[in-house]
Structure 1
Amino acid sequence: MPGPIVETGDDLVLRTVERDDADFVQRLYTDPWARTGFHEHGHKNCAEVEDVLEDEFEERDTAAYLACVDEPDAPWDHPDEDEATPVGLVVATHVDRDRPGFVHWVAPEFRGEGHGVEALELAVDTVFRTYDPNSVGTEVVAGDERRHERVEAVGFVDEGRNREVTFVEGAYRDVTQYGILHEEWEGR
């Protein structure tokens, strides 16, 4: 069951990630493109995902958010928390440093609906407001055009490329580094 609401957007909310969300989070480990963002190389069973939630997502310097939409016509503050439908995950690591790094994933059945852009915008805004870093960053693997479009739509700027550094679907691929300064975020 998704945790309490952290941020509210137009079409979704960000909630805290709870151990009960392990079944949903486990799905990202079946997506080879998503795994690269989380620096994972293989699938995980539910017990392993629960360990990740406990050992990594609950770290002091990590902010993890479950992006959820409510069922139609249910208000955001609906008393039944089960009305929230998880659609994605956004994780910011090293939030207590000058440059937190973001990884994000949208479940396949919700892609193309704009949830990824809104979830990432809400999470970036929350991290800038809560932790006050000078900039934030993210990485995108070559070939993941939807993610390139998503981070650029949010306002991230291409800062360079690392050539053939990650192995996805049978090939070494480039990784593009993206970043956005706090002052750029405020001025957009």
Structure 2
Amino acid sequence: MPGPVLEVGDDLVLRTVERDDAAFLQRLFTDPYARLGLHATTHKSEAEVETFVEEDVEDESNAAYLACVDEEDAPYDHPDDGETTPVAFVFARHVDRDRPGLVLWVPEEHRGEGYGAAAVELALRGVFRTYDAHSVGATVLESDEHSQSAFEAAGFTDEGRGREVWFAEGEYQDAVEYGLLREEWEA
């Protein structure tokens, strides 16, 4: 289950990712749109996802968040099963650099509820308040309209595209590059 609360929003909280969240995150690696953002081209076993958590999520040059809907009495530290429901995962790669990159994954059963944009907005708050990032980027498959909508709703600007650079769902697809400057986020 997710760990302590890092950021609080109107409908969501961002919690830390814990090693026992690997089973939930394994579903991310079955989603070709999300896994490409993590530079993974195929699905992963739960053991491989545990390694991802240990080597990437827990790496201090990255930041990872589980966006959760908490029950009213859910504690700020480690909630029990049933006290919180993970509805999105946001991964900020290379927060130690001038322009970290965000990856968003919302499980299919939670899409269309506004959780993607809300999770990105909370993650941006965490990244810009904690790290000296001048801007934040995101690369999204052209066919991933859900993630595009979430990043655009959070204030990101379409900065261009790479033509047919990713292979997903049996075809080469364009990658849309998004960016958000710190000064735009602060405005």
Same fold at TM > 0.5: yes
Alignment of 1:2-151 (within 5 A): 2-71=2-71, 74-77=72-75, 81-82=79-80, 83-151=83-151
Distance 1:15 1:169, change over 3 A: same
Find the residue that maps to 1:176 and give its secondary structure.
Answer: strand
- Aligned CA RMSD, in angstroms, stands at 1.3
CA distance in 1, matches of 2:56, 2:5: 20
Q: Is the 8 A contact 2:4 2:78 kept in 1?
A: no
* Equivalent position of 2:179 in the other structure: 179
Distance 1:168 1:9, change over 3 A: same
List per-residue Cα deviations over 1:29-80 (Å, max 9, x = no partner). 1111111111111111111100000011111100000111113xx2353677
Query: Structure 1-normalised TM-score?
Result: 0.95
Find the residue that maps to 2:53 and give its secondary structure.
Answer: helix
CA distance in 1, matches of 2:39, 2:46: 18
CA distance in 1, matches of 2:37, 2:70: 27
CA distance in 1, matches of 2:77, 2:125: 26
CA distance in 2, matches of 1:3, 1:135: 27
Identity across the alignment (%): 59
CA distance in 1, matches of 2:184, 2:76: 35
| Stretches (4+) displaced over 4 A | none
Find the residue that maps to 1:104 and give its secondary structure.
Answer: strand
Unaligned runs of 5+ in 2: none
Superposition deviation, residue 88 in structure 1: 1.2
Q: Count residues with an aligned counterpart.
A: 185
CA distance in 2, matches of 1:118, 1:8: 10
CA distance in 1, matches of 2:158, 2:12: 27
Find the residue that maps to 1:49 and give its secondary structure.
Answer: helix
Q: Give 1:124's aligned amino acid.
A: L
Q: Give 1:161's aligned amino acid.
A: R
* Equivalent position of 1:169 in the other structure: 169
CA distance in 1, matches of 2:78, 2:145: 37
Find the residue that maps to 2:164 and give its secondary structure.
Answer: strand
